[in-house]
Amino acid sequence: MDSTLTKGTNFSFLNSTSINNNVDSLINFYFGENTSEQIKDEYQKKELYFKALNNLQESQIPYGQDIKISFDSEELCELLIKHEVITREDTVNNMHVFPQEEREEVIYKIEKGLELIKILHPNLYSLIKRHFGTIYLAKRKGFGGGTVSSLLGLLWLNPPKKWSVIDYAEALYHEFIHNTLFLDDMVNSIFPNPADCYLPEALTTSTILKKKRPIDRSFHAANVSIGIMHLYYMLGDKKKSRMYKEELSKTMSELNERKQFFGERGIEILNEMNKFIKLYDFENITESLNN
């Protein structure tokens, strides 16, 4: 693993060097070997990353120096329907469209959520800013948003009115972890046989939803729960920094019984997860996001 850390928990998907190496790998795969080594400007690297993503994913995700916020993009709406993130039925009579009177507050809270992350961990903020091109806002009853492996760099949000700035920060960190895991899986093959994740014997209890799900989704949820607890650790909320402890322990027990579904990178991350639940060493996560 790419890091100077050796003793404490060190997740590849929450390690700045490892994440950036995965970006470089994707750029070099698409544009040619050693392309990334010639790029010194951070925005230029983001530009190449999104050009590669958009071509490989057959998408047109807008991007810029800062994360773009979009409410009215028909192209992004169709893209999310195509990738089964939202349904055609959700868009009947423009039910998915945020009213104008709600938009200003949503934008304000997204920006404040990002600012909060920047205060807590400047490099995490920079990583999030680099790895998302657009946040697309669309309503769908019963869902708060999400990301998918086939649309890296695009974050769909449907924030309830009751969400605080901390809730927005949590959602941003949550979906960032999904994205870095998707990228790590793409480059390093966490799950070598994705179809096998849906076999009955691969179903595993989700830390967050507390029900059986395909192993890749439960694996993601377990790692997202670690990230959420890390956020509350950085906020100084001791109680919430252990909010998924019991559920995570149950998920880990089941994941450890299903190692045959993991590739080498998956086993590596699983080992770090096992280390984490013994130590709850959040400070190592904080450090690895800088390394």
Domains of the chain, by residue range, sit at 189-291
Interior/surface letters 127-152, b for 16+ CB within 10 angstroms, e for the rest:
bbbbbbbbbbbbbbeeeebbbbbbbb
pLDDT, residue 291, reads: 84
Residues 36-52 pLDDT 10s: 999 888 899 999 999 99
pLDDT reading at 7 higher than 90: no
pLDDT, residue 18, reads: 97
Grade residue 3 by pLDDT with cuts at 50, 70 and 90. Answer: very low
pLDDT reading at 252 higher than 70: yes
Region 197-205 average pLDDT: 98
pTM for the predicted model, two decimal places: 0.95
User: What SS3 class is residue 123?
Assistant: helix
Select the more confidently predicted residue: 157 or 5: 157
C-alpha dihedral, 54 to 60 to 66 to 67, nearest 10°: -100
**Adjacency order of strands within the sheet including 134-137:** 68-70, 134-137, 154-157, 145-146
pLDDT, residue 40, reads: 82
Residues 142-200 pLDDT 10s: 999 999 999 999 999 999 999 999 999 999 999 999 999 999 999 999 999 999 999 99
